[in-house]
Amino acid sequence: MTLYNFDDNNIRWNKLGDFEHLLYSVLDIDENNKIIDVLFKFAANQQIVLHRHKAQNNTFVVQGEHRLYEASGKIKEIRPVGSYTVSPPNDEPHREGGGDQDVVVFFSIRGNDDILYEVLDDDLNLIATLGFQDFIGLYKAQQ
């Protein structure tokens, strides 16, 4: 079987505020059905900001190893390339990151007009939210 490498050179990656180890590219937004399709790139051997998913996230690992961490930093789950996962909303905070190489993950966020993600500090205090309208703004800004 032939192995292929994913080439992301033609993807226009964007930085999300001051958040480290995280890039994104919004691919499409279906405003009628409240679906956001976005690629996230998490840096190798790093963890992104602590957060909660407030909407269903369907994910497909395009490149690398998608790692999920508990709030404490302990590894919770490793999803290899080619993994597809359906994750319902969950109040458990976690971090995400790449394995030994940057990971690219396709997220299909199935939400509503409300908050899709809550961003937390290390003491679990809410510091920011990302909602459907925020993603519309990010999509328009990258075009």
Does residue 112 surpass a pLDDT of 90?
A: no
Let me know if residue 87 belongs to a domain.
yes
Average pLDDT of the residues in 8-21: 95
Residues 31-45 have pLDDT tens digits of 999 999 999 999 999
Does residue 140 surpass a pLDDT of 80?
A: yes
Q: CATH number of the domain at 28, please.
A: 2.60.120.10
Let me know if residue 2 belongs to a domain.
no
Does residue 96 surpass a pLDDT of 80?
A: yes
Give the pLDDT confidence score for residue 134 in this predicted structure.
Answer: 96
SS3 of 32-75: the string is CCCEEEEEEEECECCCCCCEEECCEEEEEEEECCEEEEECCCCE
The model's confidence at residue 113, banded by pLDDT at 50, 70 and 90, is confident
CA distance 29 to 38: 9
Average pLDDT of the residues in 58-73: 97
Domain count, the chain: 1
Strands lying side by side in the sheet with 90-98: 75-79, 66-70, 90-98, 51-53, 115-120, 126-131
CA distance 48 to 54: 17
Give the pLDDT confidence score for residue 143 in this predicted structure.
Answer: 76
Let me know if residue 11 belongs to a domain.
no
Q: What's the token pair of residue 54? A: 């407030």
Let me know if residue 130 belongs to a domain.
yes
Let me know if residue 10 belongs to a domain.
no
Q: If 0-12 CB within 10 Å is exposed, 13-18 middle and 19+ buried, where does residue 76 land? A: middle
Residues in the chain: 143
Q: Which amino acid is at 8?
A: D
Let me know if residue 98 belongs to a domain.
yes
Let me know if residue 31 belongs to a domain.
yes
Average pLDDT of the residues in 54-58: 97
For residue 67, give its domain range. 20-142
Give the pLDDT confidence score for residue 2 in this predicted structure.
Answer: 79
